[in-house]
Amino acid sequence: MAVEPAELTRAMARVPSPVTVVTTVDASGKRWGFTASSFCSLSLRPPLVTVCLDRTASTHTAFVTADMFLVSVLAHDQADVALRFAGSGTDRFAAGDTVPCEEGLPGLPGAAARLACARQAVLDGGDHSILVGRVERTFTGGADPLVHWDRAFARPTTALPVG
């Protein structure tokens, strides 16, 4: 019998994940963005990453057709940005805190990292689409990243001694 969504999300809540804001600009110049924890490294040669986007999201058409997108990996003090880019029916860019970054795409200046990607492929991922991005440019900042686990935001601070 198939695992129910509530059972899966309960188990997956134990998996710490990054918090990113993924952005693009369409042909008319309109900016699009959404908060994503599904961001993941895929390949080094060639440099590929993935991010999964709900097929029903208002941003879906924009991202599956976009030539380029930018992933801003949020810093520990950007939980408010994460919530804003997950909100529905609002202008997520109205706060004015995104600026043109790598490849001219709108990004968060205080991000822990940014990766500008060209669309390599869009794969079937059940009720999500898997955006495969070829990384064209990166920025690595010094801020601690924001993480999401147990349905809450957290800041990873303690490096454990190993060995």
**Please, which residue, 34 or 69, has the CB nearer to ligand FMN?**
34
The dihedral of CA 61, 64, 68, 74: what is its sign? positive
Which of the ranges 7-15, 65-73, 85-93, 134-142 carries the binding residues for ligand FMN, by CB under 6 A? 85-93
Query: Which candidate, 63, 33, 42, 46, places its Cα nearest to that of 128?
Result: 63
Task: Tell me the backbone φ, ψ of residue 84, rounded to 5 degrees.
Answer: -65, -40
Judged by CB under 6 A, the residue of 13, 40, 48, 57 near ligand FMN is: 57
**Please, which residue, 1 or 154, has the CB nearer to ligand FMN?**
154
What tokens does 146 get?
Answer: 């924001």
Residue 108 CA to residue 112 CA, distance in Å, equals 9
Write out the binding residues for ligand FMN, residues 6-35 only, by CB under 6 A: 19, 34-35
The yes or no reply on residue 103 touching ligand FMN (CB under 6 A) is no
**Please, which residue, 48 or 52, has the CB nearer to ligand FMN?**
52
What tokens does 88 get?
Answer: 């529905």
CA atoms within 13 A on the CB side of 109: 5
The yes or no reply on residue 52 touching ligand FMN (CB under 6 A) is yes
Q: Report the nearest approach of ligand FMN to the CB of residue 123 (Å).
A: 14
Write out the binding residues for ligand FMN, residues 135-154 only, by CB under 6 A: 148
Query: Which candidate, 46, 67, 73, 69, places its Cα nearest to that of 139?
Result: 73
The yes or no reply on residue 50 touching ligand FMN (CB under 6 A) is no
> Taking a C-beta distance cutoff of 8 angstroms, is the pair 74, 27 a contact?
no
The yes or no reply on residue 40 touching ligand FMN (CB under 6 A) is no
Q: List interacting residues with ligand FMN (CB under 6 A).
A: 19, 34-38, 52-54, 57-59, 82, 85-86, 88, 148
